[in-house]
Chains A and B, each alone.
Chain A
Amino acid sequence: MGRVKEKAPMSHVKKSTASKVFDGCNAAFMILFCITIIFPLWDVVVRSFSRPQDISYMSLNLIPKYVTWDAYAYCLEKEGLFGALFMSFARTAIGTVIHLCVVSLAAYALTKPQMPFRNVIQTYFLIPMFVSAGVIPAYINIKNLGLVNNFLVYVLPTSFSIFNCIIVRNFFYSIDKGMEESASIDGASQFTFFKDIIMPLSKPVLATVALWQMVGQWNAWFDNMMYTSGNKKLLTLQYMLRRMLDRLNASGSSGVSGVDAMGVTVDASEDTVKAAVTVIVVIPIVCVYPFVQKYFVKGIMVGAVKG
């Protein structure tokens, strides 16, 4: 059993020179690739703490010459950073909870082989995987439903996913059936059984789905642009960043500086402000991700094995 992990058992054999050279090159390549991933993250942190005049062409800016919080202060004052941060957290939390409830309830019902019309229902859920209306009909539909500039547009359309539903259902299948037969009699106890026994037993798969949904909600920006760009209160971090990108593309890299309400000069170019927002957008992902990585990997395995 212990050997299962070791896929290339060569440690007990003397390595050839070619093999050693290969190992060296491979390690060098991997380190280089990792640097290309870490560098932009580091670069954006440095920029966010720099004064605009210090970020210049022909220098690598590996450490800020002069550390300043100006860009962050500017975001807070002028760009409504706090509101956007709150909105991003709100949609992530609420959206994930709704998603988990809707998906796990449906998934549990779909484990019942005796349920009449089960196949019809499954087909009903599967068809949208192949047929979608497109952006414009979706927009008209949301408008007709009165969800334009409404918070619900962040959490309702994302509340169900057949892909996640199948993954959760497959996990439910693996839970011992005998236990259930002895427990369930009428409708009320069916729900209690689901809530008190099935759900706690399914923590691993629920954690995976919750994390996927959290990343999806945190990273979502298109719905903000499409449906809620008219309501400043509903601005999320991602779309805030997206709008900065738009402005930058439209104007070239021009500096903005101003005087805030306290009379203190706020000196921050678009570039450092954008960097500050990027840092705030990325921080939750980078900080949480290494600890929950195993759930993501586990989840895609379940997905790859298919039901």
Chain B
Amino acid sequence: MAKEKRSELFKRIKKHRMFYLFLLPAAVMVFLFSYMPLWGITIAFKDFKMARGIMGSEWVGLEHFQKLFTDPIFYRVLKNTLIIGISTLLVSFPVTILFTLLVNEILHTGFKKIVQTITYLPHFLSWVVVGTFAFQILSPSSGVVNTILTRLGILDGPVYFMAQPNLFVVIYLIVYLWKETGYSIVVYLAVISGIDTEQYEAAQIDGANRFQKILYITLPAMLPTICVMLILNIGTIISVGFDPIFNLYCDATYRTADVISTFVYRKGMVEAQFDYSTAVGLFQNIVSLTLVLLSNWLARKANPEYRVI
């Protein structure tokens, strides 16, 4: 019986041999660039010397983690990460929903199309370009913001906004919203376009005004998607992106702008503390994975039909 099964399996494998070949390039790439680096995580527990390699370096146990949890800079970085991560979540969510509703209320189809085309655009620009824009617009020597504020008499003289630690989070949020709000409404607009028109017509007959229609038809229809998106985004709080921070901060704003991902990069690539920065990165990955799994579990509880993939 078992033999029969095995030969049957073998037959099926043989029949599909071409498809294994199809999978080979992808499997090799994933192995080379996703699985092989995992081996390097071990240097978080080693005294890593590039010349001796990963294998040859000596184990030091939890030394790097001890250093990590007694490093005041690390706590500063962790605090910044949480502040930026949580405030991004808290601000971008309501803003995105509000913006979706406002775009949806544009009655003129042509104007709506133009607005969508323009507001989606920044999403496709790199953070390097967006960072360049931010430094340029807020420049003390030629930036438009300084020019306007000074002319209006609000400022006495030029301010180097990008170098103000106290303003960093606000500037970051504004730039982030500027870049991503437009495009992030796409998912919600898809939900709204699925709402049955008859609901709006029935509400019309019942004498509902526009605001009431939004409140009682559009928003409730969006709610399940909003919940799933919100829960999913909780998982990303600790992993504030490297790109936006790296392209918006400068030496003067490290105090409030430095987050774990930028800290890991600088410690590792600039100061060449490979082992220590790997330990910091590992800490972030573990917290992040826990949050992601937790939020996926929550999302599934909230909406049983939801699957990660």
Contacts and interface: CB of A to CB of B under 8 A. Distances in A.
Given A30-B106, A140-B37, A226-B269, A115 B125 contact: no
A191 B22 CA distance: 9
A38 B195 CA distance: 33
A219 B124 CA distance: 8
B215 to A, nearest CB: 14
Contacts of B111: 27, 30
A133 B151 CA distance: 51
B26 A187 contact: no
Contacts of B37: 132-134, 137-138, 140-141
B124 A101 contact: no
A101 B35 CA distance: 21
Contacts of B9: 116
Contacts of B54: 140
Contact of A33 (B119, B142, B292): B119
B136 A47 contact: yes
A131 B289 contact: yes
B107 A23 contact: yes
Contact of B26 (A58, A106, A218): A106
Given A190-B18, A304-B190, A278 B132 contact: yes
Interface stretch (A3-11, A76-84, A174-182, A199-207): A3-11
A116 B120 contact: no
A162 B26 CA distance: 9
Interface in B259-284: 261, 264-265, 268-269, 274, 277-278, 281-282, 284
Interface string A184-208: 0001101100100000000000000
A278 B133 CA distance: 9
B25 A187 contact: no
Interface in B148-187: 148, 150-151, 158, 178, 182, 186-187
Interface residues of B, number: 105
B146 interface: yes
Contacts of B210: 8, 10, 19, 22
B220 interface: no
Interface string A160-181: 1010011000000000000000
A156 B33 CA distance: 8
Nearest to B20: A109
A264 interface: no
Interface of B: 9, 12-13, 15-23, 25-27, 29-30, 32-41, 43, 53-54, 102-107, 109, 111, 114-115, 117-122, 124-126, 128-129, 131-133, 135-137, 139-142, 144, 146-148, 150-151, 158, 178, 182, 186-187, 190, 192-193, 195, 197, 200-201, 204, 209-210, 213, 242-243, 247, 250-251, 261, 264-265, 268-269, 274, 277-278, 281-282, 284-285, 289, 292-293, 307, 309
17 contacts: A5-B109, A9-B197, A34-B115, A102-B26, A105-B22, A127-B34, A130-B292, A133-B38, A134-B284, A140-B37, A157-B29, A218-B126, A222-B243, A249-B251, A282-B125, A285-B125, A296-B120
Interface of A: 3-11, 13, 16, 18-19, 22-23, 26-27, 29-30, 33-34, 36-40, 43-44, 47, 55-61, 101-103, 105-106, 108-110, 112, 114-116, 121, 124-128, 130-141, 144-145, 156-157, 159-160, 162, 165-166, 187-188, 190-191, 194, 215, 218-222, 226, 238-239, 241-242, 244-245, 248-249, 253, 271, 274-275, 278, 281-282, 285-286, 289-290, 293, 296-297, 300-301, 304, 306-307
